[in-house]
Amino acid sequence: MVLGLGMASCWGISMYYHDPASAQYGLAIPGILTLTIALILSVATRTKSPIDLSRRDGFGIVTFGWLFAALFGAAPFVWSGIIPNPIGAVFETMSGFTTTGASVMWGLDQAPKGLLLWRALTHFFGGMGVLVLCVAILPFLGVGGMQIFRAEMPGPSKDRLTPRIANTAKLLWGIYVALCLVEIVLLKIGGMSGFDAVCHSFATVATGGFSTRDASLGFYNSVYIEVVVTVFMFLAGINFSLHYRALRGNLQAFWKDSEFLVYLIIWALACTVMTLNLWHHTAPTLPSAIRAAFFTGTSVMTTTGFATADFDLWPAFSKLVLIVLMFVGGCAGSTSGGLKIIRIHILLKIALREIRLFLQPQAIVQVKVGKKPVEAGIVSGIAGFFVIYLLTFVAASALMCLFMPDLISAFTSVAATLGNIGPGLASVGPMLNYSQIPDAGLIVLTLCMLLGRLELYTALVILLPHFWKK
Amino acid sequence: MVLGLGMASCWGISMYYHDPASAQYGLAIPGILTLTIALILSVATRTKSPIDLSRRDGFGIVTFGWLFAALFGAAPFVWSGIIPNPIGAVFETMSGFTTTGASVMWGLDQAPKGLLLWRALTHFFGGMGVLVLCVAILPFLGVGGMQIFRAEMPGPSKDRLTPRIANTAKLLWGIYVALCLVEIVLLKIGGMSGFDAVCHSFATVATGGFSTRDASLGFYNSVYIEVVVTVFMFLAGINFSLHYRALRGNLQAFWKDSEFLVYLIIWALACTVMTLNLWHHTAPTLPSAIRAAFFTGTSVMTTTGFATADFDLWPAFSKLVLIVLMFVGGCAGSTSGGLKIIRIHILLKIALREIRLFLQPQAIVQVKVGKKPVEAGIVSGIAGFFVIYLLTFVAASALMCLFMPDLISAFTSVAATLGNIGPGLASVGPMLNYSQIPDAGLIVLTLCMLLGRLELYTALVILLPHFWKK
């Protein structure tokens, strides 16, 4: 129903901007159809008492929710003729809802406004879904160590889970919308058109990366805009529970959160070494190196994927740092993707523990985050998640090798979709896009985006016969 | 003392083949010096009662043993003027002793025979060292999960460790020498000169990869020779304890060993998919695809590194399979490098356990190898080892990006040295070598070879202040 209303609003915008008739029909008809189906389903499945969700319901709702959103959401692109290939359209929409930002569209600057807004709205809705998924659902499904956040859900604590999830979602969405609004105002002040400011804000706070310009944010060539977007990308990469606590007056929450501190350290370190590398090689001045490295570093680490520079032309060292950041990602409980800082943190602790045990074989060394020891089950869950993530990466890369001209294109197309970043390197670099990839390759990458967004297990579990039994 | 005697023997061979005087002096003088220093040290440190080794002694002996072997062993290359750059010579010698096979030498076909034999002997001695290290020392030092082999050491079980290590070493060395001799005879029958047969057998059974020809084994273009070498590379990639048990009549040992079965499955699968990929793209006929894929697949997986084809020109899919094999490596307790099959096996089990736990959150799932459950400490040791291996890979790749023209060269130069393979891809591909890399890069890669060979911890621990205290 939300999607149908979204399409209908975009139809309104489309009429306001006098888009071509194909675009207006392309939004109107799928919008009306989506709304009709939603109303029928809603009436048909109405119950009086609230329903308690089982784990299995959770998996199903989450995975099929994203899948159907991408299928329905793709209709306007196909219907309007903007992306005539349905597989390309589903890729684009999945990229939107998973807040990836990988695109098969060219000619954005001239594209109908209604469809550009719909594209940005897929990010906006996707980001809302991710928040409720990461903070309210995954910890209770026990996905890859995310149980660690079970106690940290903001909002009034209740006994029954369903109302608590609804409450948490509303709180986080409030923060999310507020961040969007503030960024819209700041971008407007910087001289961006209202329409572009809305679309780019949606893409920033959802850490998506769709732009309304073929040259992405490089189009504006404005330091002010880049600083604003960098700040909001950075904020969107932080656990939204921390924003909630900060808004309730507990500003110390940031400095007491070890995941945030690790995020800050990796971010500052990566951007600084890239600055030095760029200054030494390609950038004419230190300020221009700082500007390029911090914007791109933040964009890739938070898995947003906006571009102001063709980082595919950067020296190998900076490219390697960007690839590492693609795997690292932002904080858990944010809209970002990748492995997430909390997992990286615990993986590093696992390595450290082994070195300490090696020196003192008789010692009892616990993995701790902050000062709290982490349950052994969570630690091994994260190690298992890491292995499965790498296996998925290797398997999908092997498939992409069949469709891509070279290894770097194959590797980074998978890293950039599995981590929900958007642009990769070489033939999927920031100045190119995914339009030259054959359909079979687009299907692989569409699944990578879904798998990455749903933290692998949630989507993988649907494939197991066990899920369908009982 | 063994090195000194080795150099002296090569001096003899050098005189027999009438090598240039520079080569003869280059072997004679370092040989005499090494022997003299060895004799002085041996007399100065003589004790009456046998010494029991502590863990710390173990680390020291192993790490400094390899380091000093590379330093002393490099002298003939520098003295003879064959590799005038001492850093290049140490790289070459470390590559020999760690059974890597990465080279900075060109013009092998015309090189003095004495030095080619010395180069092959570094592999032979290195392989002997690896065997005693992997089967007799590492399990007792508790390195990265290798404790799993503690009970499996062949030979008469005694209470005291030192004589038991000596016994095990002698048994394994017997098998090692026997494999070498059989291969020499088989290669000689195939038409190889006696000298080349000896050098290539040393390089095969040690899974080293140094050839006496610039074109590596491609020089001979003989199916018979390639089959013989493939079989011996495959044998050298198996845990030598299994060979020992097989020789004692227990041929079932292979089929009962789950590590061997996983090795066989990964090998067969990787070679088969590469065959299909090559047949589809570049190879003119199926037999030529089988020949190229199985030889190269075995060479890379066992971390030998012989080449018969320029696999840098292969399609991306086959190159990806080769990169994966570089990380996988052969069985623990063999002369091969990489992560080792046993660790890959347990990492896969960790991933499987998480998926099972995800479906049945209340279940108690143990990681098992064969039918025996693996201690939790060993499982987490292997997870920690994996993280440290990847961290080392990323850190060294970042450094190599400063010295290499592109990412693939940087990545594969590190993968190929850390995994003790030899050739990588792009600018360190099988038809090129490491001679164009600046000194600083060679130092990084020399350390990678040492770290990889000593399973990281053993060498890393020397860097910690804790090691030097007490």
B72 three-state secondary structure:
helix
Residue of A nearest to B408 (CA): A408
> Is any Cβ of chain B less than 8 angstroms from the Cβ of A156?
no
Proportion of chain B above pLDDT 70, given as a percent:
94
Alpha-carbon gap, residue B302 to B313, rounded angstroms: 21
Q: Are A91 and A434 in contact (CB under 8 A)?
A: yes
Band (B469; pLDDT cuts 50, 70, 90): confident
> Is any Cβ of chain A less than 8 angstroms from the Cβ of B466?
yes
Which residues of A fall within a CB distance of 8 Å from B425?
A: 407
* Record: contact B380-A350, CB cut-off 8 A: yes
Residue of B nearest to A141 (CA): B358
* Chain mean position to CA A464: 26
B52 pLDDT above the threshold of 80: no
A457 vs B144, B358, B398: nearest CB: B358
Measure in Å the smallest separation between the Cα of B383 and chain A Cα atoms: 7
Instruction: Concatenate the DSSP letters of all residues of A269-319 into one string.
Output: HHHHHHHHHHHHHT-SSHHHHHHHHHHHHHHHHTT----SS-GGGS-HHHH
Question: Quick count: other Cβ atoms within 10 Å of Cβ B152?
Answer: 15
> Is any Cβ of chain A less than 8 angstroms from the Cβ of B346?
no
ipTM of the prediction: 0.94
* Chain mean position to CA A76: 22
Q: Is the pTM of this model over 0.80?
A: yes
Which residues of B fall within a CB distance of 8 Å from A401?
A: 315-317, 319-320
A385 vs B354, B377, B387: nearest CB: B354
B404 vs A316, A358, A383: nearest CB: A316
Distance set, CA B339 to CA B142, B333, B386 (Å): 16, 12, 8
> Is any Cβ of chain A less than 8 angstroms from the Cβ of B278?
no
> Is any Cβ of chain B less than 8 angstroms from the Cβ of A315?
yes
Please state, rounded to an integer, the average pLDDT across all residues of chain B: 91
- The amino acid occupying position A102 is A
Band (B162; pLDDT cuts 50, 70, 90): low
Measure in Å the smallest separation between the Cα of B132 and chain A Cα atoms: 20
- In terms of Cβ atoms closer than 10 Å to its own Cβ (0-12, 13-18, 19+), residue B20 is middle
Measure in Å the smallest separation between the Cα of B104 and chain A Cα atoms: 23
Q: What is the pLDDT of residues B1-14, one digit of tens each?
A: 999 999 999 999 99
Q: Which residue has the tokens 């390197």?
A: A425
* Record: contact B357-A315, CB cut-off 8 A: no
Which residues of A fall within a CB distance of 8 Å from B147?
A: none
Measure in Å the smallest separation between the Cα of A317 and chain B Cα atoms: 5
* Record: contact B320-A385, CB cut-off 8 A: no
Question: Rounded to the nearest 5°, which phi and psi values hold at B203?
Answer: -70, -25
Alpha-carbon gap, residue A154 to B269, rounded angstroms: 49
Tell me what pLDDT residue A283 has: 76
> Is any Cβ of chain A less than 8 angstroms from the Cβ of B388?
yes
Average pLDDT over residues B85-100: 97
Q: What is the pLDDT of residues A387-425, one digit of tens each?
A: 999 999 999 999 999 999 899 999 999 999 999 999 999
Residue of A nearest to B363 (CA): A377
Q: Give helix B439-453 / helix B407-418 axis angle, nearest 10°.
A: 40
Tell me what pLDDT residue A158 has: 44
Range of lowest pLDDT (A436-445, B219-228, B334-343, B348-357): B348-357
* Record: contact B457-A397, CB cut-off 8 A: no
CA-angle at B301, arms to B196 and B415, nearest 5°: 100
Measure in Å the smallest separation between the Cα of A354 and chain B Cα atoms: 6
Average pLDDT over residues B235-254: 91
Q: Are A383 and A391 in contact (CB under 8 A)?
A: no
Tell me what pLDDT residue B158 has: 45
Alpha-carbon gap, residue B11 to B19, rounded angstroms: 9
B233 pLDDT above the threshold of 60: yes
Q: What is the pLDDT of residues B108-138, one digit of tens each?
A: 999 999 999 999 999 999 999 998 888 777 7
Question: Rounded to the nearest 5°, which phi and psi values hold at A369?
Answer: -120, 125
pLDDT under 50 in chain A at which residues?
A: 158-159
Measure in Å the smallest separation between the Cα of A391 and chain B Cα atoms: 9
Residue of A nearest to B322 (CA): A398
B324 vs A357, A394, A467: nearest CB: A394
Tell me what pLDDT residue B151 has: 56
* Record: contact A361-B466, CB cut-off 8 A: no
Which residues of A fall within a CB distance of 8 Å from B455?
A: none
B302 three-state secondary structure:
coil
Average pLDDT over residues B26-30: 95
Q: Are B209 and B100 in contact (CB under 8 A)?
A: yes
Alpha-carbon gap, residue B183 to B177, rounded angstroms: 10
Q: What is the pLDDT of residues B258-297, one digit of tens each?
A: 999 999 999 999 999 999 999 998 878 999 999 999 999 9
Of A80, A66, A137, A160, whose CA–CA distance to A420 is shortest? A66
Total CB pairs under 8 A between chain A and B: 135
Measure in Å the smallest separation between the Cα of A132 and chain B Cα atoms: 20
